[in-house]
Amino acid sequence: MAYPPLVRYAAEQEYRVHFERVYCRGTIRTFDDIEVRFRKAMFDHCFFDSVRWKDDTFSPKRAERIDWIKAALEDPAAELRLGWDNEKKRAANDRRVAIVVANYVVIIRIYRPGKAEFVTAFVAGQRTINQIRSNPLWA
What are the tens digits of pLDDT across the range 18-68?
999 999 998 899 999 999 999 999 998 899 987 666 657 899 999 999 999
| pTM, 2 dp | 0.93
pLDDT in tens, 86-112: 889 899 999 999 999 999 999 999 999
Centre a 10 Å sphere on the Cβ of residue 112 and count the other Cβ atoms it contains: 7
Question: pLDDT value at position 86?
Answer: 85
Q: Which residues contact 44 (CB under 8 A, 6 or more apart)?
A: 55
Give me the half-sphere count of Cα atoms (radius 13 Å) on the Cβ side of residue 122.
19
C-beta separation of 23 from 38 below 8 A? yes
Question: pLDDT value at position 100?
Answer: 98
Centre a 10 Å sphere on the Cβ of residue 12 and count the other Cβ atoms it contains: 15
- Which amino acid is residue 31, in one-letter code? F
